Structure 1
């Protein structure tokens, strides 16, 4: 879908009744055209069978500032930026059909994370909806058709089905058929679609949470792509779930309530203990209400860091897999808005669609601390601040990027402490790894010092001419690609107080860029405004 100026006035709303669902005809957004990004590809260092991680976002009833297409002026609204550690994002509310707002879809898709909406029925009102929805095959077909159309229109990948009311026993089989038909219809529309069942109503039609996979909910599990278990489980529940799931252990999502309501080890900052328990049984996890850090803690950033650092050892981190790749590290908010180092707007803002690709926030090593700086930025509302008191390394990304012609890498930075050797390390390894593949890697290092440029490849340093500042991007590329037989050059440009250091790497057959690190050799602090990896054609090659 093409961008449109009409987005500025748009809001997204849920569908609250059965009639609203049937009457939905393409949009309920007051003639506003929805513009959402398609799901981007990404890479994981783990096998496809590795347990997955889902985040289910339950935030004060939903549809807060995030419902606004163009965002708001509340820079303190909730944001999520730990995308590298999760596979699926569910937007949840207690309305009948919850449609994820475009901002969440855009930033999740930018990071390669699937998005699900929610269909929920609750209590007496929910029971009445289910009576209509399951009345006959035509009503089931109409519901399935509308849900598929909504997902296609808004460009998200599927649904969480949560039936939290009694079902007439004679309609239970119709409910199972509904789940199966929705799953099949979504996959016909989108092969990578995902439909999950919440552990609530049983095959007897009773609202009786099982906290495990068993014969009372397995028919619904068999009809879709997985089950989201209720939260009051014990280790015995997990053992039985693993046994019943068989080869589908990764499709059992153990519910983790961050608020800790009658939950294993109390949730909150002990949530990682529950995640560890799930992983011991090779089960996936569904983290519910992760916004606890924003809703209840005085310092959201510190609480978020504490929470996700404790979860990190049990997550399979993902990263970018294609070119071009560029990020300014903006989290979709700011006190100001910057464009290439200049202040473009002086008002606070919040817009999840403007969030840039986020690094691995939990991968610091040594004394390094990596924070988001919002008083300065190159583009957007923030940049990275890397601070150390001793030599330290921070892993920015795991990735799987290959290239067929020269890769041009640009790093935009600004010193805010003593100038010490500071480097960007790119780790190259075999694209295809087997049991016989050597674990060696080639490391290409761009060293950033004041008024000097060095490129290090496997500890071999080439001194290159420091080209005059002020070169345009076009002239930089021309100088770097004129003679492919010469060692790669390092090129500096200056823009509004920021240094942009660029260099090229020739394609290495059978190799991929596997990870990207930042390294400070001594006590200092540096701002990193942008990282840009671009594939360019080198004259004389190919």
Structure 2
């Protein structure tokens, strides 16, 4: 990869300065460290740099890692297994399935300071367009921090919920950015039996943390054929061990078979053995239409698929304004040539000025990137020079079982809401709390003026966001929400939580029990009146309505809403949707063994035993002396760090309530934890 693209990763390279190695921490320091915030794990293969690490950086060797000795494992282990997904009839005639796939290399934060459980800011790359992705690489690593980066649990949980595998990153940097050839030798060292112990260690880390494999990027120059041979042997063993555990390995086009670094921009004799020793290969940005065509042909001649090659597309600097020879990769009207590897799509956040990084600003840029200029995947703009993924790749869905629920939580917000009430006014992010979100944002079908549709953060039913539909609505408008494969029982119902502000609107639930006849066609919806449904209640201005699927049978293939204005412009919010059997849902069982495991003033580490059964996540509240509750955080893991707590007036001990939250957002009875001040 071009050194000029290292703008984020190399910042910590210069932190390694000459000096004595740090002395062992004192016992008091060790106790305090146990109450420090957990971060995503990162390592060197074996030997560490000379000197001392910079502030906030911990140098550690992967060779010494053991799951049993990992103090942050409970915070870093993913809680959501990789979901299976299906491909509905495409939203437009140019979107295809079974051809080009999309990989994204994303840096969610610094290598050494990437929180394991989110943080108190809404300014975060909250990726939501998972429906177009086939593989996510948790990009990072630097010579001054660590070279091997494991994905944090929130990212893995969000990706897995949408059926996307996540790879950790092994980055051996160019010499110009602090890379040392010794680190490559460390990675591929053999033991007395002739095996590669760090290959097994990488697979063990991925298994313990619950992610899906590794992206190997060897860019340190100066090697020779012997080193190239050793790296190839390492890759073969890594793939074999990984495959046995259901994990994947992707190779980056940099090191060649003779051990030197020479980016080929193609699959050829210089990197073919590495491609054959991996599941996929990221083709460096130096590709051309000719080299991609020959690479695809060569992959097929090797008995592999041409879509196992990711053609690198660098969007770090210009995002959806990048100039790309799309016809060399995904030509219109012809079979796709290779797959697409998007380098750093978090441009959609990073390019925004600090005063325009509110969640709404970010999602507007992100929708433009993934959906295209039309902002409607059913109506792609053929004149748009940016060929958005929605234009050429069919979306996928994981909504296949009942009960299913969504409160349209994006994984970040300006406040936290529970049943329409604000229970915390602190901005936050935690991608692991993200719902399965509508994949086709936003398909609106109307004969009149198209309303604006967005994920909005000014109000929510639960979590931090809701769907806002705003406009004149001079004609009825149908908003597609979910492509599904949900079985309909004799008593299946759909719950909606919605509100209108200020115009009146008639709401109908749109349900399709079959696929549309052709790509781009509307689902064959049946419309069921929400006003004729059983109104559950009105809470904090939100109407909760239950609509029975009376007269329908088989399988729900699509869900949406039809809105008809009855008075004035419409600002209508959808805060929740659930598909479930009729009756009162059974609350989940409570977790057990809740305890404070470490304390340092107002910084606490809590842990608990998992609640039996299916749990969406756990919530933590503080019970205040006046009897009110304050939301502190939520996580899918079984450990949580609380920072900066202080006693309330007259309070001798802090009281916390822990609950398990089920798929339908119903909560268990609380488990109380007390911590004396």
Identify the TM-score tier after normalising by the shorter chain: 0.7 to 0.9
The reply to whether residue 387 of structure 1 matches residue 387 of structure 2 is no
Q: Secondary structure at the match of 2:557?
A: strand
Deviation at 1:174, TM superposition (A): 2.7
* 8 Å Cα contact 1:58-1:288 kept in structure 2: no
Counterparts of 2:296 and 2:187 in 1: how far apart (Å)? 32
Q: Name the counterpart of 1:462.
A: none
Deviation at 1:491, TM superposition (A): 4.4
Deviation at 1:252, TM superposition (A): 0.8
- Seen in structure 2, the aligned counterparts of structure 1 residues 269 and 123 have a Cα distance that, compared at 3 Å, is closer
Q: Name the counterpart of 2:392.
A: 314
Counterparts of 1:356 and 1:244 in 2: how far apart (Å)? 41
* 8 Å Cα contact 2:481-2:560 kept in structure 1: yes
The reply to whether residue 26 of structure 1 matches residue 70 of structure 2 is no
Q: Name the counterpart of 2:155.
A: 104
1:444-465 deviation line (CA, Å, top 9, x unaligned): 32334xxx32xxxxxxxxxxxx
1:214-234 deviation line (CA, Å, top 9, x unaligned): 221111111121111111322
The reply to whether residue 143 of structure 1 matches residue 198 of structure 2 is yes
Q: Name the counterpart of 1:55.
A: 104
Residues 417-496 of structure 1 mapped to structure 2, 5 A cutoff: 417-429=502-514, 442-448=524-530, 452-453=531-532, 490-496=534-540
Counterparts of 2:367 and 2:523 in 1: how far apart (Å)? 30
* 8 Å Cα contact 1:372-1:385 kept in structure 2: yes
- Seen in structure 2, the aligned counterparts of structure 1 residues 221 and 156 have a Cα distance that, compared at 3 Å, is same
- Seen in structure 2, the aligned counterparts of structure 1 residues 135 and 75 have a Cα distance that, compared at 3 Å, is closer
Q: Secondary structure at the match of 1:42?
A: coil
* 8 Å Cα contact 1:412-1:528 kept in structure 2: yes
* 8 Å Cα contact 1:424-1:445 kept in structure 2: yes
Deviation at 1:346, TM superposition (A): 2.0
Counterparts of 1:403 and 1:8 in 2: how far apart (Å)? 48
* 8 Å Cα contact 1:368-1:394 kept in structure 2: no
1:477-520 deviation line (CA, Å, top 9, x unaligned): xxxxxxxxxxxx644432332111212336977x4322222332
- Using structure 1 for the length normalisation, give the TM-score: 0.81
* 8 Å Cα contact 2:328-2:337 kept in structure 1: no
Which of the residues 556, 560, 574 maps onto 1:517? Answer: 560
Deviation at 1:331, TM superposition (A): 1.3
Q: Name the counterpart of 2:307.
A: 250
- Seen in structure 2, the aligned counterparts of structure 1 residues 230 and 369 have a Cα distance that, compared at 3 Å, is same
Q: Name the counterpart of 2:115.
A: 68
Counterparts of 1:226 and 1:507 in 2: how far apart (Å)? 48
Deviation at 1:149, TM superposition (A): 0.7
- Seen in structure 2, the aligned counterparts of structure 1 residues 521 and 294 have a Cα distance that, compared at 3 Å, is same
- Using structure 2 for the length normalisation, give the TM-score: 0.65
Q: Name the counterpart of 1:486.
A: none
The reply to whether residue 219 of structure 1 matches residue 219 of structure 2 is no
Query: Which protein is richer in helix relative to its size?
Result: 1
Counterparts of 2:528 and 2:164 in 1: how far apart (Å)? 30
Which of the residues 574, 591, 596 maps onto 1:528? Answer: 574
Which of the residues 164, 174, 185 maps onto 1:113? Answer: 164
* 8 Å Cα contact 2:293-2:337 kept in structure 1: no
Q: Secondary structure at the match of 2:423?
A: strand
- Seen in structure 2, the aligned counterparts of structure 1 residues 380 and 292 have a Cα distance that, compared at 3 Å, is same
Counterparts of 1:507 and 1:176 in 2: how far apart (Å)? 61
1:344-397 deviation line (CA, Å, top 9, x unaligned): 112222222222222235333351322122221110111110123333333222
Counterparts of 2:329 and 2:551 in 1: how far apart (Å)? 41
- Seen in structure 2, the aligned counterparts of structure 1 residues 30 and 441 have a Cα distance that, compared at 3 Å, is closer
1:151-190 deviation line (CA, Å, top 9, x unaligned): 0111001111111123320232332222122122112112
Indicate the RMSD between aligned Cα atoms, in angstroms.
2.9
* 8 Å Cα contact 1:58-1:289 kept in structure 2: yes
Q: Name the counterpart of 2:403.
A: 324
* 8 Å Cα contact 1:12-1:101 kept in structure 2: yes
Q: Which runs of 5+ in 2 are unaligned?
A: 1-33, 48-60, 90-95, 354-360, 373-387, 585-677
Deviation at 1:249, TM superposition (A): 1.2
Q: Which moved more, 1:298-307 or 1:380-389?
A: 298-307
Q: Name the counterpart of 2:454.
A: 371
Residues 123-134 of structure 1 mapped to structure 2, 5 A cutoff: 123-124=174-175, 125-134=179-188
Counterparts of 2:314 and 2:324 in 1: how far apart (Å)? 12
Q: Name the counterpart of 2:481.
A: 396
Counterparts of 1:249 and 1:31 in 2: how far apart (Å)? 40
Q: Name the counterpart of 2:56.
A: none
Counterparts of 2:85 and 2:426 in 1: how far apart (Å)? 34
Counterparts of 1:44 and 1:268 in 2: how far apart (Å)? 27
Q: Name the counterpart of 1:90.
A: 137
Counterparts of 2:36 and 2:129 in 1: how far apart (Å)? 27
Counterparts of 1:296 and 1:38 in 2: how far apart (Å)? 33
Q: Name the counterpart of 2:547.
A: 503
Q: Name the counterpart of 1:407.
A: 492
Deviation at 1:401, TM superposition (A): 2.6
- Seen in structure 2, the aligned counterparts of structure 1 residues 217 and 31 have a Cα distance that, compared at 3 Å, is closer
Which of the residues 14, 30, 33 maps onto 2:42? Answer: 14
Counterparts of 1:255 and 1:507 in 2: how far apart (Å)? 50
- Seen in structure 2, the aligned counterparts of structure 1 residues 259 and 346 have a Cα distance that, compared at 3 Å, is closer
Counterparts of 2:415 and 2:294 in 1: how far apart (Å)? 53
- Seen in structure 2, the aligned counterparts of structure 1 residues 535 and 184 have a Cα distance that, compared at 3 Å, is farther
1:316-368 deviation line (CA, Å, top 9, x unaligned): 21112222211111112222211111221122222222222222353333513
The reply to whether residue 42 of structure 1 matches residue 98 of structure 2 is no
The reply to whether residue 302 of structure 1 matches residue 364 of structure 2 is yes
* 8 Å Cα contact 1:8-1:70 kept in structure 2: no
* 8 Å Cα contact 1:212-1:237 kept in structure 2: yes
Q: Which moved more, 1:153-162 or 1:315-324?
A: 315-324
- Seen in structure 2, the aligned counterparts of structure 1 residues 28 and 107 have a Cα distance that, compared at 3 Å, is farther
Q: Secondary structure at the match of 2:127?
A: coil
Q: Name the counterpart of 1:185.
A: 241
* 8 Å Cα contact 2:82-2:161 kept in structure 1: yes
* 8 Å Cα contact 1:59-1:289 kept in structure 2: no
Deviation at 1:61, TM superposition (A): 3.9
The reply to whether residue 288 of structure 1 matches residue 343 of structure 2 is yes
* 8 Å Cα contact 1:364-1:395 kept in structure 2: yes
